[in-house]
Amino acid sequence: MGRMLVRQVAETEGCELAGGSEAPGHPALGADVAATAGLEAAGLVIGDDAAAVLAGCDVGIEFSLPGPTTEHAELAAGMDARLVVGTTGFDDDQELRFQKAASAAAIVRASNFSAGVNVLFALSKRLAATLDDDYDIEVVEMHHRHKVDAPSGTALSLGLAAAEGRGVKLAEVAARGRDGITGERRRGDIGFAALRGGDVVGEHSVVFAGDGERVELTHKAASRVIFAAGAVRAARWLVDKPPGLYSMFDVLGFDD
């Protein structure tokens, strides 16, 4: 994903690469950031000082792990910097720290930067508000074998959108694992199923299953380019925004 973001920035008119950072000990340290993405060397060496990268750019783009992302958000807050974040899987403490940082830094965070997936979020919320509890909601996702978190951040966001449409709290209705004799499905639950295998970029479906009919909303990603393009679009939108935590709905001009 990092290499794809580098290529997307380099190929987008009006954008310019400013640098890149990696974790201490990473094999890419010392390499030219553009060359790692198969582009002509840009004279920008990958280092392990995220603060230096943030200080030297208009907007940083962060796709990594919850721990370093939280730390980098706090760095951004202390520097009045701007950050686009695609990281998912924050625990409660990291989420609190991240939210606090976003009060002092301009941050766009999204579990998925695809325009199509964000349309899926909006449709899921609207349909959940339209169909009552006679329709059971299940979120099904599939990703490549290397993905480390489940359900995906996008799947959880879809569940959250459906819960908001129903006017309930996702934490109170989520069914995230079924195994063995589980008993009858509880009315009003929002279920999750996570599939892993092969090189699947990302597939998400929200199923509304009623008696005698089923409505399915589905998005299938064939390339990670859509995520990189969305992240760069978010960065361009964010460049003149005041501190605060924004979403792709803000970037795309969608109503909540």
Query: pLDDT tens-digit profile of 195-230?
Result: 999 999 999 999 999 999 999 999 999 998 999 999
Read off the DSSP letter of residue 47: B
Domain range for residue 188? Answer: 115-221
What pLDDT score does 77 carry?
95
Same-domain pairing of 104 and 9: yes
Same domain, yes or no: 233 and 205: no
How far is it, in rounded angstroms, from Cα 66 to Cα 92? 11
Is 73 within 8 Å of 101 (Cβ atoms)?
Answer: yes
Q: Which residues of 210-237 are buried (b: 16+ CB within 10 A; e: fewer)?
A: eeeeeeebebebeebebbbbbbbbbbeb
212 and 231 both lie in a single domain: no
Query: Exactly one of 147, 169, 220, 241 is catalytic; which is it?
Result: 147
Same domain, 25 and 121: no
pLDDT tens, position by position, 74-92: 999 999 899 999 998 899 9
Q: Is 100 a catalytic residue?
A: no
SS3 164: helix
Same domain, 129 and 74: no
Q: Are residues 97 and 120 in the same domain?
A: no
CA nearest 164: which of 135, 194, 127, 193? Answer: 127
Give the tens place of pLDDT for each residue, 163-199.
999 999 999 999 998 899 999 999 999 999 999 999 9
The model's pTM: 0.81
Distance from C-alpha of 116 to C-alpha of 129, rounded to nearest angstrom: 20
pLDDT for position 254: 84
Q: Is 143 noted as a catalytic residue in this protein?
A: yes
Burial class (CB in 10 A: 0-12, 13-18, 19+), 134: exposed
Query: What pLDDT is attached to residue 89?
Result: 86
Number of domains in the chain: 2
Give the bridge partners for 143, in sequence order.
196
146, 231: one domain = no
In the set 72, 125, 143, 219, the catalytic residue is: 143
Q: Residue 253: which of 234, 239, 235, 240 has the closest Cα? A: 234
